[in-house]
Amino acid sequence: MFAVRGPLDFALTGITASLALPLAAAAISMFAVSTFDTDYMLVRAADVERAVEALKKAGHRVFV
């Protein structure tokens, strides 16, 4: 599970899309959960390393 560092302003848009698009391009399935102050992205355990690489390549900072 990846957690977006929050809290996030409720008016922000596009956060889930900015994470989902690189994962989709890498053919990695994900499940998104959004709360009032942050977002979570769940991927299969077998895809975690590839997900980290895809997110970093897209410019996201990933902390393990």
How much is the pLDDT for 9? 79
Sign of CA dihedral 8, 12, 15, 16: positive
How far apart CA 51 and CA 2 sit, in angstroms, is 10
Residue 51 lies in a domain: yes
CA distances to 2, 23, 29, 34, 42 from 45, rounded to whole Å, are 11, 14, 11, 20, 9
Size of the chain, expressed as the number of residues it contains: 64
CATH at residue 50:
3.30.2130.10
Residue 52 lies in a domain: yes
How much is the pLDDT for 5? 85
Residue 29 lies in a domain: yes
Query: pLDDT tens digit string along 12-40?
Result: 888 899 999 999 999 999 999 988 888 89
Which residue segment(s) compose the domain that 34 sits in?
2-57
Residue 45 lies in a domain: yes
What pTM value is reported for the model? 0.87
Q: List beta partners, residue 34.
A: 39
Domain count, the chain: 1
